Chains A and B, each alone.
Chain A
Amino acid sequence: MSEFRGSARAFREVLARDLRVYLSYRSRLASQALTSVFSLTLFYYVSQLVHVSGFSSPGAYFGFVIVGIALVGVLYSCFSVADTVRQELIAGTFERLVLSPFGPVRSVIAMAVFPLLYAFTMAAFTLAFGWAVFGLQLHWQTVPLAIPAMALALLAFLPFGLAFAALTVVMKQGNVGTSWVIALISIVGGLYFPITLLPEWVQTAAKFQPFTPATEMLRHLLVDSPQATSALVTIAKVALFAAVLLPVSIWALRRAIREGQRRGTIIEY
């Protein structure tokens, strides 16, 4: 069996494991769907109530924010891999992964897949619910293109999760600042409001992370929001972030694990 095929099957088995564990908590799906529904309802009525400058109609702001809400879920899923690593450290399964031929680095990357696919599904549910119940105006001609665009965005977001997983291996804490990083990204990524409302220096700083262009790209494809730059430039930006950050984050994770083995702290939790 080739190494590649073996790795692909091991990846698939990690995915199957995560699905089984997820399904073993029976109320989780309903609970998360309800959270999404309540968020949508809240923002729908806020958009009806308040006139938001820069948006032609309440519906335009609702379309803007609903994509942001969907992406917040994706963001959380990216960072959840750090918490999963923490749980594996406590359960003693992480050391088994370290000792497995598949190895810990590939295992951690594989652990990110289920939460990302799940967040992707929940994002689709959120949009569909907004369309069906609140009359969200989806731009159907370009909606299919949002799928590969989202895949590209996930590749650009994933390095942040892997970097935090590396931190977790070193610091032994699952939430090493993930909450405030997500909150910060929500602001500078323009998930709830346009970043043009922010001070100019924050807008400049926002250019140096992939969330802003990815959000802009997805909004354009899903609800036809105007883009500051051309679609190709936005895609190139997101792709560049993915190409640079992914190898760096994988290197950091590998380095954290090897350092843990060298110092003997890999067994701690």
Chain B
Amino acid sequence: MSGGASASVRLEAQPPTLAAPRSDSVAGLVSTDAFPLSLEGVHKRWDKNQAPILDGVDLRLDLGTKTWIGGRNGAGKTTLLRIAAGLIDPDRGRVHAWGFGPHDKRSRYHRLVAFLPAGDRGLYARLSVRHQLRFWAAMAMIDHAAREARVEETIDAFDLRELAEQRVDRMSMGQRQRVRIAMTFLPEPETVLLDEPLTSLDSEGAVVLDRAIEGLIDRGGALLWCSPSGDHPEHEFDSDWMLEAGRLVAL
């Protein structure tokens, strides 16, 4: 394992200061002595007759780092991401990002942490790409004055200009995936959680995703990417983990 994410033994280490200037939209939102993501002793059991899917997971993402977690199907990667995103609660354990919990400072947490779920859901079928982005920009409470510009920037950044007026239900799976990724990066989050982001993406789409990730890392954010164990992306990650029997094992 290289630097980047840390297991529980390193949680006592002094938190680093911000490595890169924050964007204006989040300046003042973040606590400077906080990590992009910190999971401590996270447990989750779906069925009381079965072993826990997550059995005391500790994970910390450091500033400006990329982390990959692999594992077999059903190992708990998606559950881990959903918990980290604040979508579902762990049975036990703590989740924090930038000093905030997903429920104690709900709105702030979700301004800073973005999650791309696996699959092709989460889109309004009958809205165009532009209206989709405009809608989610409003839900992200992006400043009204900056919102339109941000939507246009995102359309360009994800090569969606030609598709901007097209309805989502008339697009291919790969094009939809690109829209979903664009929606994830649209509010300029500081921590990005990706669940199998390469699904249906062509090589051009993968390049667009790479660019977005580099932008995130350059501004001091952090990335957590999950995919099945035999599907390690070509990216160079700062740390690689496997989720096995509910625990993270460093590679």
Contact = CB atoms under 8 A, between A and B. Distances in A.
Interface of A: 1, 3, 5-7, 9-10, 12-14, 16-17, 20-21, 24-25, 91-93, 95-103, 107, 258, 261-262, 264, 266-267
Nearest to A88: B124
State the 4 A-B residue pairs at the shortest beta-carbon distance, nearest first: A92-B121, A13-B138, A100-B139, A92-B122
B122 A17 contact: no
A13 B130 CA distance: 13
Q: Secondary structure at chain A's binding surface: helix, strand, loop or mixed?
A: helix
B49 to A, nearest CB: 16
Contacts of B167: 24
A9 B89 CA distance: 29
Contacts of A17: 124, 127, 131, 135
A146 B153 CA distance: 46
Interface residues of B, number: 39
Contacts, number: 106
Interface of B: 44, 46, 79, 82, 85-89, 103, 106-108, 110-111, 114-115, 117, 119, 121-127, 131, 134-136, 138-141, 143-145, 167, 183
Contact of B139 (A16, A102, A261, A267): A102
Nearest to B169: A24
B44 A6 contact: no
B123 A99 contact: no
A262 B134 CA distance: 30
A77 B251 CA distance: 55
A261 B88 CA distance: 4
A103 B106 contact: yes
Contact of B110 (A9, A25, A101): A101
